[in-house]
Amino acid sequence: MQDTDSNLGIASASMPPARLAAWLRLERTHGIGPRTAAALLAAFGSVEAIFDADVGALGAHVSPAQARALRQPVSPDTARLVDATRRWLDEPGHHLLALGQPGYPALLANIHDPPILLYINGRMESLNMPALAIVGSRNASAQGKANAQAFAEALSMAGVAIVSGLALGVDAAAHEGALRGPGGTIAVVGTGPDLIYPARNRALAARIGQAGCIVSEYPIGTPPLPSNFPKRNRIISGLVAGVLVVEAAAKSGSLITARQAAEQGREVFAIPGSIHAALSKGCHELIREGAKLVDTAQDVLEAMQVSPLVLAHAPPAAPAAQASDDPLLAALGHDPVEPDALLARIGGTPGELSTRLLLLELDGLLERLPGGFVQRVAKDMS
């Protein structure tokens, strides 16, 4: 890569230390947020020129306190961070994109507070594909995870990149499904790009780095602080044309992501569920607020107005699941039910029912929910 201003947005081993240090200083300067950083870059033409300017020149664009902060010398912590970042960038597939520079995702650049820096591990071209976010509960039901995986796979097969947060539950299922198609997947994380959280998803993260990319706004070494995750949700919604909420409780981080998406002008979709299921409450709330109710991937593709070329590669909707001859499955329906109520429907003894429920659970056709409830799991989705 040539060391020219046209490449300011992409940092690699060839980036001069002074330039990398300037970007990291700008991102770490107290009181300088994305909007102020963008104004300074527009005024001075390059990130280095900002730090070459005197207090008087800076004062024409920022407050006196901000101008003084920008004139502070490089701190030892920043110098160590520069060294750590350069070592990270020396590894294959590692990139750094800066706000306002070539390669920075256009959709994300237009949100209210885009990140000044994006650390990327993997294929940067994933950031330029049509994309949809799939989010939902970390404590998802088996049906919720199956739905997330099925929707993600169908959309990925249609050439849509799936964006999620690498959390357990719906996020992990969505990443898994997306990896089965050419659209691939993007994981937006709440740690530094050199860390994986939760550790249980380390193998999944490695696969994402090969077939898609992992994105973070946090510097090297940043631990999984609780405040990082709500903040990163704006990036998940900012990278995409729409957000699909699969399962969410009434008070859920997924609802924050969905509402941020709406504020950013993105489409919001929600999968409805049983009126008796706590993890359906958030989706139903979003639908009442104007989210589009969807029950097939084709619904999402049409609402996103995916180009005919991409849509032509979408798989046909799966045929509706055939009614089972098993009377117990028929009696279960698709709502959570207590075993005692189920026993009243079909008769028999508690021991016989327990055995039949166990066999269905082993076949993946049933899951046990908190409070002693059981629920049927649909294998196919139309």
Whether residue 163 contacts residue 237, with contact meaning beta carbons closer than 8 Å, is answered with no
Contacts of 200 (CB under 8 A, 6+ apart): 168
- Report whether pLDDT(9) > 60: no
Dihedral sign of CA atoms 179, 124, 161, 249 in order: positive
Q: What is the full DSSP assignment across 4-26?
A: SGGGTTEE-TTS-HHHHHHHHHH
* DSSP helix/strand/coil, 215: strand
How high is the pLDDT of residue 11? 47
CA-closest candidate to residue 235, choices 243, 244, 245? 243
The mean pLDDT value for 214-218 works out to 97
Q: How confident is the model at residue 380 (pLDDT cuts 50, 70, 90)?
A: low
- This prediction's pTM: 0.80
CA-closest candidate to residue 235, choices 267, 205, 261? 261
The mean pLDDT value for 271-298 works out to 92
Beta bridge partners of residue 337, listed in sequence order: 374
Q: What's the CA gap between 201 and 208, in Å, rounded?
A: 10
- Which tokens sit at 105? 């995702």
Q: What pLDDT digit, counting tens, does each position of 33-44 carry? A: 888 998 899 899
Percent of the chain with pLDDT strictly greater than 70:
90
Instruction: Tell me which of 256 and 306 has the higher pLDDT.
Output: 256
Q: What's the CA gap between 207 and 378, in Å, rounded?
A: 27
First to last CA, the chain: 48
Question: What structural domains and CATH numbers belong to the chain?
Answer: 5-90 (no CATH), 124-311 (3.40.50.450), 327-376 (1.10.10.10)
Alpha-carbon Rg for the chain, nearest whole angstrom, is: 24
Q: What pLDDT digit, counting tens, does each position of 104-152 carry? A: 999 999 998 899 999 999 999 999 899 999 999 999 988 899 999 999 9
Q: What is the mean pLDDT of the chain?
A: 86
Query: Residue 31's Cα: distance from chain center in Å?
Result: 27
Beta bridge partners of residue 161, listed in sequence order: 131
How high is the pLDDT of residue 306? 62
Q: What's the CA gap between 90 and 80, in Å, rounded?
A: 16
